[in-house]
Amino acid sequence: MSLRLGDEAPNFQADTTVGHIDFHEYLGDGWGILFSHPADYTPVCTTELGRTAALQEEFAKRNVKVLAVSVDDVESHKGWIGDINETQNVTVGFPIIGDEKRVVASLYDMIHPNASATATVRSLFIIGPDKKLKLSITYPASTGRNFTEVLRVVDSLQLTANYSVATPADWKDGEDVIVTPAVSTEDAIKRFEKGINIVKPYLRYTPQPNK
């Protein structure tokens, strides 16, 4: 059965390039990103892991732990990391899970028969501190992920988890946000001290409350 937003992210134990982990224990009380790759030594994924490594400090600022998973074994991962570090001019410091038996792939519904009966699809999952699934994106093999968008979504998820706001199309950290419909205009005026801009009764903007 496929995972849906709001479902608990399945826990698992696995060997990784940084040792054996329990997934939920590894995440602790922070956020997590789990993203998959069909196999080691694949070109698009090499650039993606390099980009993730380049953004390690950005993820750390947001209290996000990143893990990658591939169906190859840990020793293969370690060799691939050497290539990633060399070609992308980075140092991969996050775990890559060895999933030869496709345990994680099965738990997270990464085997799509219409795409491939054996290889995992390229899915990305964002998991909240409550261990609930907050977002999932699945990419085709030919299209590299946009990690600027992944960071943008993390910013939105963390903001909207703590305030009664939503983020509009193309929103970026620091820009105005939308007051959710659950908050009346009267309450919004009291709650959002920076003021609100009422475009329509259902469309009300306010400056980002945590800035």
Read off the pLDDT of residues 62-120 as tens digits, 9 standing for 90 and up: 999 999 999 899 999 999 999 999 999 999 999 999 998 889 988 998 765 555 544 55
- Residue pair 209/194 in contact (Cβ under 8 Å)? The answer is yes
Tokens (6 digits) for 35:
């993203």
Structure tokens at 40: 């080691």
Q: Which domains does the chain have, with CATH numbers?
A: 13-144 (3.40.30.10), 163-206 (3.30.1020.10)
What's the token pair of residue 112? 């799509």
**What Rg, from alpha-carbon coordinates, does the chain have?**
19
Distance (Å, whole) CA 46 – CA 40: 8
Catalytic residue (choose from 9, 33, 45, 81): 45
Q: How confident is the model at residue 38 (pLDDT cuts 50, 70, 90)?
A: confident
**pLDDT at residue number 67:** 96
Quick one: three-class SS letters along 143-192?
Answer: CCCCHHHHHHHHHHHHHHHHCCEECCCCCCCCCCEEECCCCCHHHHHHHC
Active site (annotated) includes residue 166: no
pLDDT digits (tens, 9 = 90+) for 157-166: 999 999 999 9
Please state, rounded to an integer, the average pLDDT across all residues of the chain.
92
Q: What is the pLDDT of residues 131-165, one digit of tens each?
A: 999 999 988 878 889 999 999 999 999 999 999 99
Distance (Å) of CA 62 to CA 18, 29, 33, 123, 140: 21, 12, 12, 21, 27
Residue 186 contacts by C-beta under 8 Å, 6 or more apart in sequence?
none
pLDDT value of position 204: 97
